[in-house]
A and B are shown apart, each in its own frame.
Chain A
Amino acid sequence: MTTTRTPATNHFQPIDPQPDASPPMPNQTDKTLARIRTELLTTFSAADWESYNHLVGWLRDTDVASHALKVGDDAPDFLLPDADGRLQSFEQLRCNGPLVLSFFRGGWCPFCTAELCALQAAKDEFESVGASLAVVTPETRDFPRQLKRGLGLDLKVLSDVDYGVAMSYGVLFRVPDETRAHYSRLGFDFGARHGSPVWMLPIPATYVIDAGGRIRSAFVEPDFTIREEPAQILASLRQAASTCS
Chain B
Amino acid sequence: MELHQVRYFLAVASTLNFTRAAEQCNVTQPALTKGVQKLEQELGGQLIYRERQLTQLTDLGKEVLPMLERTLASAEAVHRRAQEFQRKEVAPLKIGLAPSISASLVLDPIAEIAKFVPGLHVELREGAAEKLVDLLLEGEINAAMVGDVQDMPARIDDWSLFEERYVAVLAPTHQLANRPSIGIDDLRETVLLERAECDVAPKIQRSYFPDEPPHLGHCSGHDLHLQHMAAAGFGVILAPEHMPRLPALKTIPLEGDPVSREVRLLAVQGRRYSPALDAFVKVARLRDWSVEVPGRGMLHATLPELASAPA
Chain A contacts to B: CB under 8 angstroms: 1, 62, 64, 67, 76-87, 89-90, 140-142, 144-145, 159, 161-165, 167-168, 170, 172-174, 176-177, 195-198, 200
Task: Report whether A87 and B1 are in contact in the complex, using a CB–CB cutoff of 8 Å.
Answer: no
From known contacts A67-B2, A167-B75, A198-B64, infer whether A81 and B283 are also in contact, taking CB-CB under 8 Å.
yes
Q: Which residue of B lies closest to A77 (CB)?
A: B78
- Which listed residue, B2, B159, B279, B286, touches A79 by the CB 8 Å rule? B279
- Which listed residue, B64, B72, B109, B285, touches A164 by the CB 8 Å rule? B72
In the complex, what distance in Å separates the CA atom of A145 from the CA atom of B288?
8
In the complex, what distance in Å separates the CA atom of A232 from the CA atom of B42?
31
Q: Which residue of A lies closest to B159 (CB)?
A: A195
B119 CB to closest chain A CB, in angstroms?
A: 15
In the complex, what distance in Å separates the CA atom of A168 from the CA atom of B70?
13
Task: Report whether B81 and A161 are in contact in the complex, using a CB–CB cutoff of 8 Å.
Answer: no
Task: Report whether B63 and A198 are in contact in the complex, using a CB–CB cutoff of 8 Å.
Answer: yes
Task: Report whether B286 and A141 are in contact in the complex, using a CB–CB cutoff of 8 Å.
Answer: yes
In the complex, what distance in Å separates the CA atom of A167 from the CA atom of B287?
23
Q: List 20 A-B contacts (CB under 8 A).
A: A1-B163, A64-B1, A77-B82, A79-B116, A79-B279, A84-B288, A85-B112, A85-B284, A85-B288, A86-B112, A87-B113, A87-B115, A159-B285, A162-B282, A163-B74, A164-B74, A167-B71, A168-B75, A170-B1, A177-B44
Q: Which residue of A lies closest to B75 (CB)?
A: A164
Task: Report whether B3 and A167 are in contact in the complex, using a CB–CB cutoff of 8 Å.
Answer: yes
Task: Report whether A173 and B1 are in contact in the complex, using a CB–CB cutoff of 8 Å.
Answer: yes
In the complex, what distance in Å separates the CA atom of A84 from the CA atom of B73?
23
Task: Report whether A79 and B70 are in contact in the complex, using a CB–CB cutoff of 8 Å.
Answer: no
B258 CB to closest chain A CB, in angstroms?
A: 18
- Which listed residue, A64, A85, A200, touches B283 by the CB 8 Å rule? A85
Task: Report whether A174 and B64 are in contact in the complex, using a CB–CB cutoff of 8 Å.
Answer: yes
In the complex, what distance in Å separates the CA atom of A176 from the CA atom of B70?
20
Task: Report whether B1 and A195 are in contact in the complex, using a CB–CB cutoff of 8 Å.
Answer: no
Task: Report whether A62 and B41 are in contact in the complex, using a CB–CB cutoff of 8 Å.
Answer: yes
B9 CB to closest chain A CB, in angstroms?
A: 13
Q: Which residue of B lies closest to A90 (CB)?
A: B78
- The verdict on B152 contacting chain A, using a C-beta distance below 8 Å, is no
In the complex, what distance in Å separates the CA atom of A143 from the CA atom of B47?
32
Give a binary string over B1-32; 1 marks a CB under 8 Å from any A CB, 0 the rest. Answer: 11100100000000000000000000000000
In the complex, what distance in Å separates the CA atom of A1 from the CA atom of B75?
30
Task: Report whether A176 and B71 are in contact in the complex, using a CB–CB cutoff of 8 Å.
Answer: no
Q: Which residues of B contact A165 (CB under 8 A)?
A: 74-75
In the complex, what distance in Å separates the CA atom of A140 from the CA atom of B284?
10
Once A and B bind, how many residue pairs between them come within 8 Å at the CB atom? 113
In the complex, what distance in Å separates the CA atom of A85 from the CA atom of B77?
18
B246 CB to closest chain A CB, in angstroms?
A: 28
Task: Report whether A162 and B286 are in contact in the complex, using a CB–CB cutoff of 8 Å.
Answer: no
Q: Which residue of A lies closest to B116 (CB)?
A: A87
Chain B contacts to A: CB under 8 angstroms: 1-3, 6, 41-44, 63-64, 67, 70-79, 81-82, 109, 112-113, 115-116, 159, 163, 279, 281-288
A175 CB to closest chain B CB, in angstroms?
A: 10
In the complex, what distance in Å separates the CA atom of A176 from the CA atom of B67?
16
Task: Report whether B78 and A79 are in contact in the complex, using a CB–CB cutoff of 8 Å.
Answer: yes
From known contacts A79-B116, A198-B67, infer whether A87 and B283 are also in contact, taking CB-CB under 8 Å.
yes
Q: Which residues of B contact A170 (CB under 8 A)?
A: 1-2
Q: Which residues of B contact A142 (CB under 8 A)?
A: 288
Task: Report whether A174 and B116 are in contact in the complex, using a CB–CB cutoff of 8 Å.
Answer: no
Q: Which residues of A contact B6 (CB under 8 A)?
A: 167
Task: Report whether A172 and B288 are in contact in the complex, using a CB–CB cutoff of 8 Å.
Answer: no
15 new A-B contacts at CB < 8 Å, known A62-B41, A85-B286: A79-B77, A79-B81, A81-B285, A140-B285, A145-B288, A161-B281, A161-B286, A164-B71, A167-B1, A168-B75, A170-B1, A174-B1, A196-B70, A197-B63, A197-B67
Task: Report whether A174 and B43 are in contact in the complex, using a CB–CB cutoff of 8 Å.
Answer: yes
In the complex, what distance in Å separates the CA atom of A70 from the CA atom of B200?
52
B122 CB to closest chain A CB, in angstroms?
A: 16
B143 CB to closest chain A CB, in angstroms?
A: 14
In the complex, what distance in Å separates the CA atom of A85 from the CA atom of B109?
8
Task: Report whether B286 and A89 are in contact in the complex, using a CB–CB cutoff of 8 Å.
Answer: no
Residue among A83, A90, A164, A176 facing the most chain B CB atoms (10 A cut-off): A164
Q: Which 7 A-B pairs have the closest CB atoms?
A: A164-B74, A85-B287, A164-B75, A81-B286, A198-B67, A85-B286, A162-B74
B237 CB to closest chain A CB, in angstroms?
A: 26
Q: Which residues of A contact B79 (CB under 8 A)?
A: 77
Q: Which residue of A lies closest to B41 (CB)?
A: A62
Task: Report whether A84 and B42 are in contact in the complex, using a CB–CB cutoff of 8 Å.
Answer: no
Q: Which residue of A lies closest to B70 (CB)?
A: A162
Q: Which residues of A contact B74 (CB under 8 A)?
A: 161-165
Q: Which residues of A contact B3 (CB under 8 A)?
A: 167-168
Q: Which residues of A contact B282 (CB under 8 A)?
A: 79-81, 87, 159, 161-162
A128 CB to closest chain B CB, in angstroms?
A: 29
In the complex, what distance in Å separates the CA atom of A79 from the CA atom of B112?
12
Task: Report whether A83 and B286 are in contact in the complex, using a CB–CB cutoff of 8 Å.
Answer: yes
A177 CB to closest chain B CB, in angstroms?
A: 7
